[in-house]
A and B are shown apart, each in its own frame.
Chain A
Amino acid sequence: QKEVEQNSGPLSVPEGAIASLNCTYSDRGSQSFFWYRQYSGKSPELIMFIYSNGDKEDGRFTAQLNKASQYVSLLIRDSQPSDSATYLCAVNRKDSSYKLIFGSGTRLLVRP
């Protein structure tokens, strides 16, 4: 089992729709969870982070964390073509709180 798993996609949604990206992780000791956006050939940029169970909203983005089920998700409301990118889920490693393990990413395509 991979430490951080994501569906590679592509996830295709029409402009204006809600895009839902999911991520599961294997280490129950993980404490911090991050979502990054990466455009092709570019470096990742931080979108959201979440530490506690429940929802965390920031503009059009909502991160959801369920530690009991070991999943974290990212919702993007009112999706725009500019949101088309690969979204990486990252989770801290149990052996070292400051090192992140990245999923392989989900490619999102927002159709105009």
Chain B
Amino acid sequence: GAVVSQHPSRVICKSGTSVKIECRSLDFQATTMFWYRQFPKKSLMLMATSNEGSKATYEQGVEKDKFLINHASLTLSTLTVTSAHPEDSSFYICSARVARGGFRANEKLFFGSGTQLSVL
């Protein structure tokens, strides 16, 4: 299957610093990328959707100035957690797919390996 590379896999940072997470589609062009966060034993919560070449669409309750998303190319999207605080500690996962829409599009939705962020 297609490969989505996400790194770093784990990051520990001090409160107030910014952290950048990269998500790359290695063998396909990702028209659409999604960013999720997941707390222990909880479901994946969609944070934002980014389509290449356009601004990210954030879900209700997600601060766009806090979680900066850039989808500059068809193979790379980045999530920057700005001025991170302990409550931002979570597992962040990206996913990518070729198609923009249609309910069948998620048949080809591929996930990155996730980033465990710990803010001290």
Residues of A within 8 A of B (CB): 4, 8, 31-32, 34, 41-46, 49, 51, 88, 90, 92, 96-105
CB < 8 Å neighbour of A97 from B41, B101, B116: B101
Tell me which of A8, A88, A99, A105 has the highest count of chain B C-beta atoms within 10 A of its own C-beta.
Answer: A99
Interface membership of chain B positions 96-120, coded 1 if the CB is closer than 8 angstroms to chain A and 0 otherwise: 0101111111110101111010000
The contact size tier of chain B is 20 to 34
**Does B54 interact with chain A (Cβ within 8 Å)?**
no
A92 closest partner in B (C-beta): B103
* A105 B43 Cβ-Cβ under 8 A: yes
Contact of A45 among B42, B103, B106, B111 (CB under 8 A): B111
Q: Which residues of A contact B101 (CB under 8 A)?
A: 96-98
Instruction: Identify the B interface with A (CB < 8 A).
Output: 6, 32, 34, 41-46, 49, 91, 93, 97, 99-107, 109, 111-114, 116
Contact A98 B44 (CB under 8 A): no
Given contacts A32-B106, A92-B103, A98-B106, whether A43 and B42 have CB atoms under 8 Å apart is no
Interface-centre pick from A31, A42, A44 (highest chain B CB count, 10 A): A44
- Do residues A51 and B114 form an inter-chain contact, with CB atoms below 8 A? no
Docked pose: A8 CA to B107 CA in angstroms: 25
Nearest chain-B residue to A97 (Cβ)?
A: B103
Q: Which residues of A contact B105 (CB under 8 A)?
A: 97-98
Q: Within 8 Å CB of B49, what residues of A?
A: 99
Q: What 8 A-B pairs have minimum CB-CB distances, sorted nearest first?
A: A43-B111, A32-B103, A104-B43, A102-B43, A97-B103, A102-B44, A31-B103, A98-B101
Please give, as numbers and ranges, the residues of chain B lying within 8 Å of A42 by CB-CB distance.
113-114
Query: Distance (Å) between the CB of B79 and the closest chain A CB?
Result: 15
- Say yes or no: A92 contacts B42, CB within 8 Å: no
Bound-state Cα–Cα, A51 to B113, Å: 27
Q: Is the CB of A92 within 8 A of B41?
A: no
A98 and B114 contact, CB distance less than 8 A: no
